[in-house]
Amino acid sequence: MLAANMENTTMRMRIETSLAVKEESSVRRVVLLCIVLLLVLMFPCTERSAAASTGKTVGIDIAFEDITDFFYTYDASTAPPHYQRYRFFAEDGKHYFYHETREGGGWPQTEADITCSGTVELTEEQWAAFCDLLNGGKAGMREEHLESGDAGPWLYIYWRGGETEGRKFSFDQPGSVLAFEKFSTGLKEGKVSSRMEKQQISLNGMDFHFWLYTPDNIPEDPALIIYLHGGTSKGDDLDLLVSHGGLPQYLLQGRLKPSVFIAMPQAPEEIRSWDELGEEIIGLTEILTDQYNVDPEKVALTGHSMGGIGTWMIAYEDPDVFCRIAPLSGAISRKIQRNPNPLTMPIWSFVGSDPSDENAYNSNTAFFPELQKRNPDAQLTILENAKHRDVAEAYLQFDIIGWLAGGEKQE
């Protein structure tokens, strides 16, 4: 009996010891786990910082010739708010610099707040200087500045073979960003003088809004060209004119830099055709001619689509005002076809052979044989397979602006 009790007591002691060991082991594991979690919470940035510091280096991992786009954006919600953007980009084997300043209005600012912008083609030396500033910089993970609330500056780089959304860029030296800003400001103030500006005048009791392109170097006897937009740009938002391609966008992007003044008015939404604003167009022409000392013998008219139709009609009604006209995809009214006599000025018309430009194509090809009997300076260019909207690209393919300003026609 005594021996049995002693055996039971021994077994209980073994079980209790085993449970104690297991409990101690569990406590140790919990303590170790808490320590690990505490370390993670205390030092969360160590691994991330190491990951952020790694990236591709410009000049080593990213070749200069592979850089396609670089953006600098400063966007401060100050009073008043301040927005400045610089862009360096490659296109069709050439390099360009674009600058944009936004002022006034609330924050965040929009394209409606643009007060100054321009694009200039860079020389090889200027692009090389830009690359020198980026040399050694890092392309890391992208962040969205609007979500962070920071004003910037925010820098993003794109390159051939890189991610499509681009990478956040950081200079290798703290002073490099100041050197970049100084370099960009120099290009903006010293190299880019041509500009697109929004303007407004009152004509016949209505506010007439228009873009005005001012050339780099204004000649002694400058020319003035009036451009009439198509139907999709009607309204009260001038940004529509530079959003649908065509001449206004080409000028804003710096793809065309003619040495002439170009005014691009906007028709209100309720206007069905430009001839309803014939008096206002003539009034705008007279005001700008006086204001900028334009040679009255160098005032020309052009437009695309609804603007091409308007070019025909306004020049027909006031043929003495315009020295030359260039309608693009402009269908010709029956009134003009019945009596083309007023159209004595040089004319260069463009149409596409695609069915989408059928109205302009049919009326022009039917009208020009009769017109050229009376006006040998009238020429028609048919763009094979060109769709209606694509005819506007003729401003890039042909020197239409130079010809309107008095130059020789170049095919």
In a domain, residue 33? The reply is: no
Greater confidence (212 vs 39) lies with 212
Of 151, 175, 191, the position where a domain reaches its end is 191
Tell me which amino acid residue 198 is. K
Clarify whether residues 187 and 203 are in a common domain: no
Clarify whether residues 185 and 223 are in a common domain: no
Greater confidence (56 vs 53) lies with 56
Radius of gyration of the chain (CA): 34
Q: Which of 139-143, 199-203, 402-406 has the lowest mean pLDDT?
A: 139-143
pLDDT at 192 over 50: no
Greater confidence (180 vs 380) lies with 380
Question: According to the model, what pLDDT value does residue 51 have?
Answer: 34
At 324, which helix (H) or strand (E)?
A: strand 324-328
CATH of the domain at 229: 3.40.50.1820
- Strand order through the sheet with 261-265: 195-203, 206-214, 261-265, 224-228, 299-304, 324-328, 347-352, 378-383
Clarify whether residues 373 and 397 are in a common domain: yes
Clarify whether residues 349 and 229 are in a common domain: yes
Question: According to the model, what pLDDT value does residue 46 have?
Answer: 39
Residues 69-88: tens digit of each pLDDT: 999 998 877 767 788 899 99
In a domain, residue 373? The reply is: yes
pTM over 0.75: no
Residues 129-144: tens digit of each pLDDT: 899 899 999 998 766 5
Q: Which of 44-53, 90-99, 204-213, 330-339 has the lowest mean pLDDT?
A: 44-53
Clarify whether residues 253 and 226 are in a common domain: yes
Clarify whether residues 155 and 239 are in a common domain: no
Greater confidence (113 vs 97) lies with 97
Clarify whether residues 126 and 218 are in a common domain: no
Clarify whether residues 180 and 241 are in a common domain: no
The whole-angstrom distance between residue 251's C-alpha and the CA centroid of its chain comes to 11
In a domain, residue 397? The reply is: yes
Clarify whether residues 249 and 395 are in a common domain: yes
Mean pLDDT for the chain? Answer: 83
Residues 235-259: tens digit of each pLDDT: 988 888 987 789 998 888 778 889 9
* Percent of the residues in the chain that have a pLDDT greater than 90, as a whole number: 52
Number of domains in the chain: 2
Clarify whether residues 344 and 392 are in a common domain: yes
In a domain, residue 117? The reply is: yes
In a domain, residue 36? The reply is: no
Structural domain boundaries enclosing 244 = 195-404
| Dihedral (CA of 393, 396, 402, 407) sign | negative
Greater confidence (193 vs 112) lies with 112
Clarify whether residues 256 and 351 are in a common domain: yes
Of 147, 167, 191, the position where a domain reaches its end is 191
In a domain, residue 27? The reply is: no
In a domain, residue 376? The reply is: yes
Q: Please report which confidence band the pLDDT of residue 165 belongs to, taking 50, 70 and 90 as the band edges.
A: low
Q: Please report which confidence band the pLDDT of residue 382 belongs to, taking 50, 70 and 90 as the band edges.
A: very high
Question: According to the model, what pLDDT value does residue 149 have?
Answer: 52
Longest pairwise C-alpha distance within the chain: 141
DSSP string, 84-115: EEEEEEEETTEEEEEEEEE-SSSSS--GGGEE
Question: According to the model, what pLDDT value does residue 174 have?
Answer: 73
Clarify whether residues 199 and 177 are in a common domain: no
pLDDT at 123 over 60: yes
Question: According to the model, what pLDDT value does residue 394 have?
Answer: 95
Q: Which of 190-199, 312-321, 332-341 has the lowest mean pLDDT?
A: 190-199
Of 154, 171, 191, the position where a domain reaches its end is 191
Q: Which of 55-59, 205-209, 327-331 has the lowest mean pLDDT?
A: 205-209
